[in-house]
A and B are shown apart, each in its own frame.
Chain A
Amino acid sequence: MSTAELDAALSQAYEAGFVTDIETETLPPGLDEKVIEYISAKKNEPDFLRQWRLDAFRRWQTMREPRWAHVHYEPIDYQGLIYYAAPKRRSETEIDPKLLETYEKLGVPVHERAALAGVAVDAVFDSVSVLTTFKDKLAEAGVIFCPISEAVQKYPELVQKYLGSVVPPGDNFFAALNSAVFSDGSFVYVPKGVRCPLELSTYFRINTARTGQFERTLIIADEGSYVSYLEGCTAPMRDEHQLHAAVVELIALEGAEIRYSTVQNWYPGDEEGRGGVYNFVTKRGLCAGRGAKISWTQVETGSAITWKYPSVILKGDDSVGEFYSVALTRGRQQADTGTKMIHLGRNTRSTIVSKGIAAGHSQNAYRGLVRINPGASGARNYTQCDSLLIGPHCGAHTFPYIESRNPRAIVEHEASTSRVSEEQLFYCRQRGIDPERAVALIVGGFCKDVFQKLPLEFAVEAGKLLEVSLEGSVG
């Protein structure tokens, strides 16, 4: 098989690209203080939050959109976006069957008797959470898992204490925008010493055209607790770009562990780069106490542009941060993703394993920062950063930043770039394996280290997603 053949026929098999025909309540496009007041009033928010949003908005107005990433896109017209869209509720208790259908079609277990019985789901549709499963079972364990808008009403003291504590509103341009206009998202609180009995999962769906999705996720694991959380994302195929600017904050107190997994499959746009989601997300975790652990695992196959760095601040002594990532780009997709590990406490440890796969005309960059502060004696980091190229027109880039201010810290970095070789393909084909399956097999092997870190139920999903995403990436 020639490299030209390899690269040919990059068809876009995007199975989640349908639109749900449902009546929605939307604000007209545009953003000013009135829109923020509207969102805040709509959600009946306490005054502290209304003020917090307005402060963020004023801050945002003074900020400039960053341009340093290895991605290229036309300027976003922020006044042309819709900032609030919600499916109309028929009644207080009933959920529109069309919504349930949508999630079923996407394979999301929104019925409690569903096959993925060990998973509780919060489903976010455009700007609002439409349903949350297994709330009772979680409540028995003392775990709070609900839409953040509900948490604001029921647990305002927790929200006020932690919201913005890891990603302050002024952190960056997109975080400020999110703080001003976030409409919903998930809230998790796991009490002291509790091991959350279910996998928690949020499923994000953008449906309405020209809508920005600005969800906010806040997860607090109290001392000695454990929680595993997964988010999934899809959007319909549309010709225009959609902005997704989420903020995720994780707080792990002493001895607590949070595992956060993402399977991101936003619509990537067509072969010429028309349409697709701009996935500009700020994700950060704080290991606040001694021995806390935060682990990010991400499988990114979607979005026209992925631009995010799930990070860990290792404040507590002996705390642990991990980042395992698979980022696959094809067509005209662009990714600039990686992580930041900020070592503050003593004997803090971090591990970074990044697997970037580029096909078609895509550009795939890993960008990572490992910072060891002067107080972080005995800190250790291990980074492994591998790129795999499929075909001759794609690019892989690595931008590692290492700032060690403590001579007693150990930082290791390994990187490799390889290609799916014609020899490997021929070997597979000689055994009767068709080229597409062969590429999926080879790529799956390349990603093995990361897939092993996903919760079992989702490792299979991720593998399949990769296979679907690679369809048509060989001639």
Chain B
Amino acid sequence: MMLTIRNLTVAVEGRRILDGLDLDIAAGEVHALMGPNGAGKSTLANVLAGREGYEVLEGEALLDGQDLLTMEPEARAQAGLFLSFQHPVEIPGVSNLQFLRTALDCLRKARGEAPLDSAALLRAAREAAQVLGLPADFLKRGVNEGFSGGEKKRNEILQMLLLEPRFVILDEPDSGLDVDALKLVAAGVNRLRRPDRAFLIITHYPRILEYVRPDRVHVLHGGRIARSGEAELAHQIEAGGYAAVLEGSVA
């Protein structure tokens, strides 16, 4: 297993959001995590990435056998974890290219690799920008500075393409995107699908799953995975809503 989560129980400001969650994701797989608003989908993403403000009461999360929950956020990233943020923050004055270079330097240094040379990085970044339909001057602009919602989401995918993580969490990569942008984001994800890489796509809507076909779909409810199934489960949710698929579930 690439990612193994056992009995994960997490509170935010004293309130239990995740309650004994189990989840296994094997290398090469794409899993979708769905669920109604407030079910705790983003909490799971943030806890795995190491954001402050979440209290882990019980359980563990292993990435390639490493205990994620005891690691600093940057160490998790260096271990191959990438979170595509639902709301990426702006860093004024720091160009996308400079940001990418710094991140790559740090990641490569942690892996004991020499820094990527500037020309190679620039080439790779330009190509990735093109794939995502981003304008040529995009790399010079400040990180997310004055970007539209769609540009921010595509910038997350651009970073993912260049940083080449092993395990990717996409937190609502589709929210606020029109169908053209959605296709570009999906194409970015599909481009990176490989037998030694895994994805967890968090989403409200089955729409993106039309373009990125998941191996497994999970429904988060009551603080744990209440229902799991094949891609077909997403269609059932679309047709009948969460109530229909959760009927008779443990929650």
Roughly how many angstroms separate A21 CA and B210 CA in the complex, as a whole number?
A: 74
Q: Give every chain A residue within 8 A of B76 (Cβ-Cβ).
A: 430
Q: Is A426 touching B159 in the complex (CB atoms < 8 A)?
A: no
Which of A2, A433, A448 contacts B103, CB < 8 Å?
Answer: A433
Q: Looking across the interface, which residue of chain B has its beta carbon closest to that of A422?
A: B52
- Per a CB cutoff under 8 Å, which of A421, A432, A435, A445 touches B94? A445
**Number of A-B residue pairs with CB-CB distance less than 8 Å in the complex they form:** 79
B93 CB-CB contact with A under 8 Å: yes
Bits for B110-141, please: 1 = Cβ < 8 Å to A, else 0.
Answer: 10000000000000000000000000000000
Residue of chain B at shortest CB distance from A446:
B93
Give a binary string over B41-85; 1 marks a CB under 8 Å from any A CB, 0 the rest.
000000001111000000000000000000011101110001101
Number of residues from A at the complex interface, CB < 8 A: 25
In the assembled complex, the Cα of A422 lies from the Cα of B102 at a distance in Å of 18
- B52, A442: Cβ atoms under 8 Å? no
Chain A neighbourhood of B72, CB < 8 A: 429
Given A431-B103, A432-B103, A441-B102, A426 and B52 touching (CB < 8 A)? yes
> In the complex, A397→B156 CA distance in Å?
36
Most buried by B among A421, A441, A445: A445
Report whether A432 and B99 are in contact in the complex, using a CB–CB cutoff of 8 Å: no
CA–CA, A106 and B46, complex, Å = 45
Q: Which chain B residue lies CB-closest to A421?
A: B89
Expressed in whole angstroms, the Cα–Cα distance for A85 and B93 within the complex equals 44
Q: In terms of DSSP, what is the predominant structure of the interface of chain A?
A: helix
Is there contact, CB below 8 Å, between B85 and A427?
Answer: yes
A3 to chain B, nearest CB (A): 10
B93 touching A423 by the CB < 8 A rule? no
Q: Tell whether A461 is near chain B: CB-to-CB under 8 Å.
A: no
Tell me the count of chain B residues lying within 8 A, CB to CB, of chain A: 30
What residues on A are CB-neighbors of B99 within 8 Å? Answer: 428, 431, 441
Pick the contact of A427: B88, B92, B98, B107 (CB < 8 A).
Answer: B88
With A1-B52, A441-B94 as given contacts, are A427 and B89 in contact (CB-CB < 8 Å)?
A: yes
A residues less than 8 Å from B78 (CB atoms)? 432
Would B93 and A444 count as touching, CB distance under 8 A?
yes
Complex Cα distance, B110 from A422, in Å, reads 23
Interface residue A437 (Cβ < 8 Å from any Cβ of B): yes
Assess the A433–B74 pair: CB atoms within 8 A. Answer: yes
- Decide: B91 and A441 in contact? CB cutoff 8 A: yes
Of A434, A437, A444, most buried by chain B (CB within 10 Å of CB) is: A434
Chain A residues with CB below 8 A from B52, complex form: 1-2, 422, 426
Nearest opposing residue in chain A for B76, CB measure: A430
Docked Cα-Cα span, A427 to B99, in Å, equals 11
Q: Which listed residue (A423, A445, A449) contacts B89, Cβ 8 A?
A: A423
Please state if A441 and B163 are interface contacts (CB–CB under 8 Å): no
Question: Which of A422, A432, A442, A449 makes the CB contact (< 8 A) with B106?
Answer: A432
| B206 in contact (CB, < 8 A) | no
Q: Which of chain A's residues 1-43 have a Cβ closer than 8 Å to chain B?
A: 1-2
Interface: B142 (CB within 8 A): yes
A445-B91 Cα distance, complex, nearest whole Å: 7
Knowing A426-B51, A432-B103, A437-B106 touch, does A442 contact B91 (C-beta < 8 A)? yes
A79 close to B (CB within 8 Å)? no
Q: A1-B52, A445-B142 are in contact. Are A434 and B92 (CB under 8 A)?
A: no
> Could you tell me the distance between the alpha carbons of A248 and B232 in the complex, rounded to whole angstroms?
76
Query: Judging by beta carbons under 8 Å apart, are B77 and A441 in contact?
Result: no
Complex CA–CA separation, A444 to B94 (angstroms)? 7
A435 vs B50: C-alpha distance in the bound complex, in angstroms?
Answer: 13
What are 16 pairs between A and B in contact, CB < 8 Å? A424-B89, A427-B91, A428-B102, A429-B50, A430-B74, A430-B82, A430-B83, A431-B77, A431-B99, A432-B103, A432-B106, A432-B163, A434-B74, A434-B106, A445-B142, A447-B93
